[in-house]
Chain A
Amino acid sequence: MWTSFLLNNTPYKVFQMRPNTWILKSGEKGEIKKLYSLLSYSGQSEIADLISGREDLTLVLHQGVSHPKALQNWLKALMQKSTHETIPIPLDHHLEVDFSKGLDWDAVLKYCGLAKKEYIENLCARPLEVAMLGFLPGFIYLQGLDPGLQVPRKAKPAVSVPAQSFAIGGDMAGIYHFSSPGGWHVIGQTIQPLFDLDQPLKPGDRIHVKAIWSEKE
């Protein structure tokens, strides 16, 4: 059964999916993202997994929590603690992208009304920021894409997007870790994979894109 509770005066809708699994939703945009960041950074050993959905997050704990009240208290304590302690500083990562390997440049440049050189200069001018991970194995969502560089997703997804594709879709950029079907526009390929299980990125980490050209344009 869905119930609700308040955290820092923000109402959350809560659902217990299994004894150790809770879905949390908030009507207030941005609150779920904040909670996701907080939980990602918390380093709490009780957290077994944390899955971000489009409008919610799902928290998997190592042990069952029997009641929403217990979950609320645990989250409250966590929020209080995180204001006392320093939240880790976001890390900077450098990402080399080969823009010669873009497959969908024509559509992207036509939509944005930009020359390729301009588009890439704009893209590299400011770091992007890790928004979330997942949906597809190792997929990385990056936010902070300049509105002038945004293109709606493809009406019909491509059957196969190559591994390590750097792509844009809606207001986000993203990196396909593995080859898969995909609806984002591929504009390049990363030289190295950005996803690393041993050193996973965290929401808020900054990604500095550096343009590489494997072919002369």
Chain B
Amino acid sequence: MPKIQVIKAGVLSSIQDAGRKGIRKFGFPEAGVMDLAAMYAANKLLGNDPNAAVIEMALSGGTYIFDAPAFLSICGAKAPITKNGKAIHTQRVIAVQAGDELSIGSFSEGLFSYMAIQGGFQVPIWMQSASTLLSVGKGGLHGDLLEKGDEIPYLLTDSKPHLFRELDYALPERRAIRVYKGPEWHLLSEESQEQFLQSFRLGSEISRMGYRLEGATLKCYTKEIASSAVFPGTIQLPGQGLPIVLMKDAQTTGGYPRIAQVFEEDLAILVQSRPGQEVQFTFEQDKI
């Protein structure tokens, strides 16, 4: 099988697909791509299965060399992209030849981007998914972030994708993120309940497990709860009073008060926010 060689990996690159569903009951985070819409669009452009495994990249892309001809698509955060040193457009399918070098630079807008390849990257399926689960070092290529020297297999296909089709994706519009009140919302002080709806900034501590927010220090009448279920999009309040929004690799239960839960459809707005950017929450309706 031909391979893509990783010359430079980027800071947080890993193999992902749609992740694992229904196994939080066994303690497994779902993992999977942070921005599902971007992965779907990248795969769709190539005529792939929507869940075909992709390379997820954060903050910057990296440099890759191809063993054999391939068709690719790149979708998500905006970045300068070059093939053999020349800037290329990425709104359509990208064709590469054996020996071509593709470089994806630092992202200028958005935080996560995806490289899909016709037929999908070929890594072993572990627990129903190709997704890397960093916390236990399993899944993906070798259970870890991609690094220099890695080789990721892909299929050699005869069929040609539509070369003139355009990528159907735009970074999420930056607007207030809709949330539901969490099970411990009522334990926030009244002042903190108001402060929560004023704006936060995205902190610099961001990972696939969670994003830390900066802004008003919130006060909760309880510092700890009997550990209970959390999900991607759950907003926890640790003792020091700055909220954390849990993401795809988050643990399955937690002991911090859960003050809110982000609408599933709106989580990508936060996913694609950059450290320092403003984050605003809103209750769309009083009840669910």
Contact = CB atoms under 8 A, between A and B. Distances in A.
Tell whether A pairs with B: yes
Interface of A: 1-2, 15-19, 21, 23, 40, 48-56, 58, 60, 133-139, 178, 180, 195, 197, 200
29 contacts: A16-B180, A17-B182, A17-B229, A17-B234, A17-B261, A18-B231, A18-B233, A18-B264, A23-B183, A23-B229, A48-B22, A51-B24, A51-B253, A53-B227, A54-B227, A56-B226, A58-B228, A133-B25, A133-B27, A134-B27, A135-B252, A136-B251, A137-B27, A137-B28, A137-B29, A137-B133, A139-B27, A195-B26, A197-B128
Sort chain B's interface into a size bin: 35 or more
A53 B288 contact: no
- Residues of B contacting A: mostly: loop
Contact of A1 (B181, B227, B233): B181
B86 interface: no
Interface string B9-29: 000000000000111111111
Given A23-B183, A56-B228, A51 B25 contact: yes
B226 to A, nearest CB: 4
Contact of B24 (A19, A55, A134): A134
B163 interface: no
Given A18-B261, A51-B253, A138 B228 contact: no
Nearest to A201: B26
A133 B227 CA distance: 14
Nearest to A197: B127
A63 to B, nearest CB: 14
A145 B264 CA distance: 41
B227 A197 contact: no
Interface in B155-175: none
Contacts of B253: 51, 53, 134-135
Contact of B22 (A49, A56, A136): A49
